[in-house]
Amino acid sequence: MPEFLKPRRLLVAGQLVLTLVLVAFMVVPVVMSVMAGLTVNYFRGVSSGLTLKWLEQVWAMYQDSVWLSLEIALATLAITLAIGVPAAYALARSNTRWARFVEELLVLPIALPGLATALALLSVYGGWSAFRSSMWFIVAGHVVFTLPFMVRSVAAVCAGTDLRTMEEGAASLGASFTQRFLTIVLPNARPGIVAGALAVLTLSIGEFNLTWMLHTPDTKTLPVGLADAYASMRLEVGSAYTILFLLMTLPLLIAMQWLGVDPAGAQSERAAAKRQRALSQSGSPGQQTLTQPVETAR
C-alpha cells in the first residue's frame, strides 16, 4: 500500500480537510460582510468599486453608540474588578460547602437567557425612572452577566497557586493583610485578572439580548445599533457597521491569544512555559514573592 494511503495518514488528511471546511464555513460569511461594507453596490460586487462612504455614514450616525458601549464596558470592568477579584480570592481560600454554593450561584446568570435576566432587573428596578433611563441600568445587567467570568478566571489561578504558604510566610515576617494582598495575591493572580478583564470587555461590548431589553432610545449600544442598521437600512450600511464592530472586538480577541489566555481564564501552555523559564532563571517563586513583604516589614 502506498505511504499516503495508510489509515493514519488518511485520518490526518480527513481531519485537516474537515477543519478547513469548518473554518471556511465560519470565515467566508464574515469576509463577505466586510466586502459588502466596502463596495459601492453589494449586488454588483467588487466591480462596482470600493468605497469608505458607508463607514463614514455609519460613524456619523452611530458614533454616540460606540462611545456609550465603551463607557459601559469600562464601567462594567471597573465594578467586576472591584467585586470579582476579592470574591475569587475568598472562594479560592475557602474549602467549605458554602463557598462552593456561592460559586455555583455566581455562575447561574450564565445558565439563564439574557432576556430572563433583563426581565428580572426590569421587574425589580424598572420603577426607578432615573436609574432605568441611565446607562447604569445596562451596566448593572452587564455586571450580573460578566461577573462569573472574572470570578472563575481569578479563582482558577489562585487555586492553582500555593498562596496560603506564601501568605503565612509573609505574615510571620510582619506583613499585614493589605500588604500580603497587594504584594502576593495580586501579582500571582495577574494572569487570571487579565483573562477576566479581556473577557468582560469583549462580552460587554458584544452583549445584545440583555442590552436589547434594558436599553432606551438614549442608551443604544453598539450591538443594538447593529441590529437596527440591518433591519432598517441598506445592506451596505449594516455591513459597514459590522466592520466597525469588528474593529472594536478583534483587538481584544487578539490580545487574549497574544497573552496566552482564553475567556474562561485558563493559561495556555505557551504562557505557562514562558513563566516557568523566567522563574527558573531568576529563582523560585516563593523566594521572589516573599522578599517584598520582608522589605515592607523592615
**pLDDT 10s digits, 2-31:** 555 567 777 878 888 888 888 888 888 888
Contact call for residues 95 and 159 (beta carbons, < 8 A): no
Q: Examine the pLDDT at 296 and tell me if it is beyond 50.
A: no
Domain that holds residue 79: 53-297
Is residue 9 included in any domain, yes or no? no
Find the helix packing angle between 269-282 and 285-297, rounded to 10°: 60
Is residue 152 included in any domain, yes or no? yes
Is residue 137 included in any domain, yes or no? yes
Q: Are 38 and 62 within one domain?
A: no
Q: Are 102 and 218 within one domain?
A: yes
DSSP 3: G
Is residue 93 included in any domain, yes or no? yes
Is residue 250 included in any domain, yes or no? yes
3-state SS class at 153: helix
Is residue 128 included in any domain, yes or no? yes
Give the least confident one: 80-89, 194-203, 228-237: 228-237
Cell matching residue 74: 469600562
Measured CA to CA, the distance from residue 78 to residue 245 in angstroms comes to 22
Q: Are 115 and 202 within one domain?
A: yes
Q: Are 125 and 149 within one domain?
A: yes
Is residue 233 included in any domain, yes or no? yes
Best mean pLDDT range from 2-11, 59-68, 77-86: 77-86
Q: Are 47 and 61 within one domain?
A: no
Report the pLDDT value the prediction gives residue 80, as an integer from 0 to 100: 94
Q: Are 227 and 135 within one domain?
A: yes
Cell matching residue 196: 477576566
Q: Examine the pLDDT at 82 and tell me if it is beyond 90.
A: yes
Residue with cell 474593529: 247
Partners of residue 39 on adjacent β-strands: 50
Is residue 106 included in any domain, yes or no? yes
Contact call for residues 236 and 54 (beta carbons, < 8 A): yes
Report the pLDDT value the prediction gives residue 219, as an integer from 0 to 100: 87
Other Cβ atoms less than 10 A from the Cβ of 268: the count is 15
Residue with cell 462611545: 67
CA 34 centroid distance within chain: 23
Q: For the chain, report the end-to-end CA distance as a whole number of angstroms.
A: 75
Contact call for residues 137 and 214 (beta carbons, < 8 A): yes
Q: Are 72 and 219 within one domain?
A: yes
Q: What is the dihedral sign for C-alpha 101, 158, 179, 164?
A: positive
Which domain CATH number covers 182?
1.10.3720.10
Q: Are 69 and 92 within one domain?
A: yes
Q: Are 115 and 188 within one domain?
A: yes
Report the pLDDT value the prediction gives residue 228, as an integer from 0 to 100: 80
The more confident residue out of 202 and 281 is 202
Contact call for residues 39 and 50 (beta carbons, < 8 A): yes
Single pTM value for the model: 0.72
Length of the chain: 298
- CB environment 220-245: b (16+ within 10 A), e (fewer): bbbbbbbebbeeebebbbbbbbbbbb
Cell matching residue 241: 457597521
Find the helix packing angle between 186-206 and 235-259, rounded to 10°: 170
pLDDT tens figures, 188-214 = 888 888 888 888 988 898 888 888 888
| Amino acid symbol at 84 | G
Q: Examine the pLDDT at 270 and tell me if it is beyond 60.
A: no
Q: Are 218 and 205 within one domain?
A: yes
- Helices and strands of the chain, counted as H and E runs: 14, 0
Measured CA to CA, the distance from residue 6 to residue 284 in angstroms comes to 48
Contact call for residues 123 and 219 (beta carbons, < 8 A): no
Q: Are 183 and 259 within one domain?
A: yes
Measured CA to CA, the distance from residue 156 to residue 221 in angstroms comes to 32
Q: Are 247 and 178 within one domain?
A: yes
The total domain count for the chain is: 2
Contact call for residues 149 and 196 (beta carbons, < 8 A): yes
Supply φ then ψ for residue 33, to 5 degrees.
-65, -40
Measured CA to CA, the distance from residue 267 to residue 257 in angstroms comes to 10
